[in-house]
Structure 1
Amino acid sequence: MLDDPTTAARPAADEKIRCDACPVMCYIKPGATGACDRYANDAGELVRVDPHVLLDRALAQGASVVPFNRGGDWDGKLLASPETFVTAIGAGTTYPDYKPAPFIVSAEVDGVDMVTVVTEGIFSYCGVKVKIDTDRFLGPEQATVRAAGEAVGHVTTSEYGSQMLSLGGVHHLTGGAKKEGRVTCEALLELCNGKAVELAIDGGSTVIVQAGKAPIVNGFQEERMRVGCGSATIGMFAKQWLGKADEVVVVDDHITGVLSEHQAGKLLDIPETGIKMKGRRSTPGRYFQVAEPGTGWGGTNITDPLSIIGPFDPKVAWPGLRLFFISTTGEHSAYYELDEALQPVAKALPADLLASTERVKENCEPALSTVLFMAGAGGSLRSGVTENPVRLTKSVKDALTYVTSGGAPVYVYPGGGITFMVDVTRLPENAFGYVPTPALVAPIEFTLKLSDYEALGGHMTEVRPVSSIPHGEATLSLAPRGDNPWPLAPNSAKRSHG
């Protein structure tokens, strides 16, 4: 229950109660939940529906869980409980914002008194960055991304072997129509909680995205991201093609590579072949814009590789010239030999070139969708940590305060404020919630030395040991992820701050 000193006497069990966990301020009937499905009226008492998540290293080590001390009053002493970390998942919020954080808990770690301030933040300024490892063209930059027909984000600049989407943000959540905000909030919540969401991109593809899973583009599940651009692929595999083909073309939407012209081919003394490429020549053996972007060969719109070449130069080419085409994922390949008229004739792929195709595939990493939650911690959230919020910001920037989200490491952006980003797959399941303003609710924890907390003007009267939190149905103990640093040892953790 969220204690509020201004709250009147407890209502009767058959009366509605007003929830003050977010700005919506729902009136909740007995036995019902609020609009967010996170708080309920239990016989006149406001209760949290989901359990409060605790990370317990003893579970990861296979040991039995030591129950929390439920008997007697706390004597005010700091108790050593370095094996348990209290996350913000299920902890509650600071709304209205004069309240201290719901949990400010202490523990002794290696002889040092530590404190963790735990809050479920209500984030209107939030969104997700989606990294989709695929060679497919999903849509032009700045194209609108839609969920259920509503604009929820846009395509941003692609990265090496990955297409990037920026979804959410305050303008989609609150700056448009009511339906746009609702659909945006639903899509963000599903993505952050590891659910699959179908997105349609204006002028591009339909893609089903799920954190930690391969994307499904236009109904087909992707298998791999590209090994590199066409030029890089030439450089990596030129020696393996030497003597097996006279000319190799690696088809790519970005840079298509041509072996005989490429510097790698020159160093291997591969003779000129008289090939004529379409597109814009960049540097030797590297061509831009050989075709339009698409879902065909190498992220282009072609299905026939011969469509990107012109006639061979008869002064240079020769009958029997072996021509090998391959895409940057190895998914597409074709082999030709020139006839007496120097026309390419399709042939079965020789075994040695088939082996090199498999080698290209082997060097491609699996296609994957990565969902990164990004949000800015506002001044109101920071006031739940200290009466002078700017000191918390400075403490984070000075690396005195270690920021986590559900116990997972975050990247804190340089510059003003506390803008952080976290991989949603590194949090416990269903770590995110929402409020119908609309906004997302996400866990955030600040861990620092107790002495530093006191120095920045923290709410010292609210500090209590982990052992004071009752263990039962209202809490859920989970083993921490093995690849996450232990939040209570931030000095030894690999930091993710910018």
Structure 2
Amino acid sequence: MTDRPPRPEKTRPEKIRCDACPVMCYIAEGRIGACDRYANQGGRIIRCDPLTVLDRRIAKGDEVKPFLKADWDGTLSGDDLFVTAVGAGTTYPDYKPAPFIVSRELDGADFVTVVTEAIFSYCGVKIKIDTDRHLGPEGAVVRAKGEAVGLVITSEYGSQMLSLGGVDHLTGGSKPEGRVTCDTLLRLCNREAVELSVDGGASVIVQAGQPPIVDGQREERMRVGCGSATIGMFASQWQGLVDEVVVVDDHITGVVSEHQAGKVLGWPDTGIRIKGRRSTPGRYFQVAEPGLGWGGTDITDPLTILGEWNPKKGARPGLTLLMVSTTGEQFAYYTLDDDLVPQPRDLPEALRASVELIAENCEPALCTVMFMGGAGGSLRSGVTKNPVRLTRSVQDEKTRVTVGGAPAYVWPGGGITLMADVTRMPDNAFGSVPTPAIVAPLEFTLPRAEYRALGGHDDKARSVDDILEHGGDYGADVRAVGPVTGKDGA
């Protein structure tokens, strides 16, 4: 029996540990980590996406393109280019300086922009949905893929509001709840369409900058105002063309003959009776339940909100009535018969223009997604050796905060609680890590003297041209995009 040749030893590719997030993946050569954001290339951890620079010399809205060093003559002005944190890499673990500390001159003054991708466990989105249609009762749970991800909050003028995410959903519930919440936030922040359902309410497809789709119906316009406001705007245009106008609205239904606007115009009484709760003359609350019908109510027949007409107060056969919603999408025209019962009639051409004017004054219905996060904790160590000084500098408005180059609103009070519009950021500005948490681009811009005063890592500051030429610890790939806002974010 012949001896078998020795089997070749199996070699496993050497793995290196990535410290860009708390998961600390071991990544083999040529592979990427669990976050799909970092990879092992040649025994070095690199960021998979290129560093994104806002370039004012590229037309607004232009498609993302590589930044070609061959096309760059090495000259620039301080406000031409703004280095965002998109693709920059992270400060985690936060004992080290931020990936990029950019030195540049603006209007003759030295400024520093500190650039980092921040890991947010304390974050979420606030969503404004332009619609009168009832999405669900205030406080109702909002779900994605069956998991609770947020709640309905107080509605605003012409819009329904949702609050999604937060640390309790990301880390305080079950693992599926945390994963779905993180995925939902990530997709919303990256301007993808997400289907949400409200307990006891509607299903809605939300996408930043796009019309909402409520129970399969695409919204086209938000209301011009409540029923009372609509009468205030258009009462004079109805005078002499119709005897009575009712603007149906879930919040405040208006009646022109009783309304202050009608009284100022000398509008005669009609003997109309509304079944809702009277607030002030010509203004009625709770005429119906909230829903997907006329003016955000649950009605499909507007006559259901009317009681019997009173002949002692002006009701008479032949009296004409226009009923219209606050968007002009629904309207109906009636005359009273001999029994003072409204009978439907074709809308006269003379009134059609006023209905069309209501529609014309309605703005397009859109979804607005605002990223909101608490930029506190140790990420501030990537900016300064004394973190509280950064917080105070931001609160004193000496340091400006941007998110992917987009301006951020910083809430008053303690900490750095910020909010920014995701439609003003470059594409795919957000990422995630499996902890789960959202990764958002974050930039702090301040005068260099202020940066030194707050104990910043001034020795790590680099010029823009050096960054474009050599990149950083997470790679040298750079791309340029036209500013979404038409500004450089500085």
Q: TM-score, normalised by structure 2?
A: 0.93
Change (3 A) 1:65 1:154: closer
**Aligned mates of 1:115, 1:13 — CA distance in 2:** 44
**Aligned mates of 1:353, 1:132 — CA distance in 2:** 30
Deviates more, 1:291-300 or 1:444-453: 444-453
Indicate the residue corresponding to 1:210 in structure 2.
207
Q: 2:56–2:486: 8 Å Cα contact kept in structure 1?
A: no
Indicate the residue corresponding to 1:450 in structure 2.
448
Aligned-residue offset at 1:68: 8.8
Question: Is 2:477 aligned against 1:474?
Answer: yes
Indicate the residue corresponding to 2:363 in structure 1.
365
SS in 2 for 1:130: strand
**Aligned mates of 1:118, 1:51 — CA distance in 2:** 14
User: Deviation above 2 Å: which 4+ runs of structure 1?
Assistant: 58-62, 64-70, 79-82, 470-473, 481-484
**Aligned mates of 1:413, 1:106 — CA distance in 2:** 27
Q: 1:13–1:44: 8 Å Cα contact kept in structure 2?
A: no
Q: 2:424–2:485: 8 Å Cα contact kept in structure 1?
A: no
SS in 2 for 1:200: strand
SS in 2 for 1:59: coil
Deviates more, 1:173-182 or 1:48-57: 48-57
Render the CA deviation track for 1:105-135: whole Å, top value 9, x for unaligned. 1011221111100010000000000000111
Q: 1:58–1:65: 8 Å Cα contact kept in structure 2?
A: no
Indicate the residue corresponding to 2:58 in structure 1.
59
SS in 1 for 2:39: strand
Aligned-residue offset at 1:82: 3.7
SS in 2 for 1:270: coil
Equivalent residue runs for 1:78-477 within 5 Å: 81-315=78-312, 316-471=314-469, 474-477=477-480
**Aligned mates of 1:140, 1:357 — CA distance in 2:** 30
Q: 1:447–1:487: 8 Å Cα contact kept in structure 2?
A: no
* Equivalenced residues, count: 469
Q: 2:219–2:365: 8 Å Cα contact kept in structure 1?
A: yes
Q: 1:401–1:446: 8 Å Cα contact kept in structure 2?
A: yes
Question: Is 2:486 aligned against 1:487?
Answer: no
SS in 2 for 1:227: coil
Q: 1:431–1:442: 8 Å Cα contact kept in structure 2?
A: yes
SS in 2 for 1:146: strand
- Note the residue ranges of structure 2 that are not aligned, 5 or more in a row: 1-10
Deviates more, 1:328-337 or 1:388-397: 388-397
Render the CA deviation track for 1:216-270: whole Å, top value 9, x for unaligned. 0000100000000000111100001101110100000000000111011111111
Q: 2:318–2:335: 8 Å Cα contact kept in structure 1?
A: yes
Aligned-residue offset at 1:460: 1.4
**Aligned mates of 2:436, 2:96 — CA distance in 1:** 22
Deviates more, 1:28-37 or 1:281-290: 28-37
Q: 2:25–2:33: 8 Å Cα contact kept in structure 1?
A: yes
Q: 1:321–1:338: 8 Å Cα contact kept in structure 2?
A: yes
Deviates more, 1:309-318 or 1:473-482: 473-482
Aligned-residue offset at 1:65: 7.2
**Aligned mates of 2:102, 2:441 — CA distance in 1:** 15
SS in 2 for 1:416: coil
Q: 2:94–2:381: 8 Å Cα contact kept in structure 1?
A: yes
Deviates more, 1:306-315 or 1:423-432: 306-315
Q: TM-score, normalised by structure 1?
A: 0.91
AA at the equivalent of 1:156: I
Render the CA deviation track for 1:314-363: whole Å, top value 9, x for unaligned. 22311000011000010100000001111111000111111111000000
**Aligned mates of 1:60, 1:233 — CA distance in 2:** 40
AA at the equivalent of 2:479: L
**Aligned mates of 1:14, 1:67 — CA distance in 2:** 34
**Aligned mates of 1:151, 1:55 — CA distance in 2:** 36
AA at the equivalent of 1:449: P
**Aligned mates of 1:13, 1:444 — CA distance in 2:** 38
Change (3 A) 1:372 1:404: same
User: Percent same amino acid among aligned pairs?
Assistant: 68
Q: 2:406–2:485: 8 Å Cα contact kept in structure 1?
A: no
Q: 1:432–1:443: 8 Å Cα contact kept in structure 2?
A: yes
AA at the equivalent of 1:28: I
**Aligned mates of 1:390, 1:68 — CA distance in 2:** 43
SS in 2 for 1:239: helix
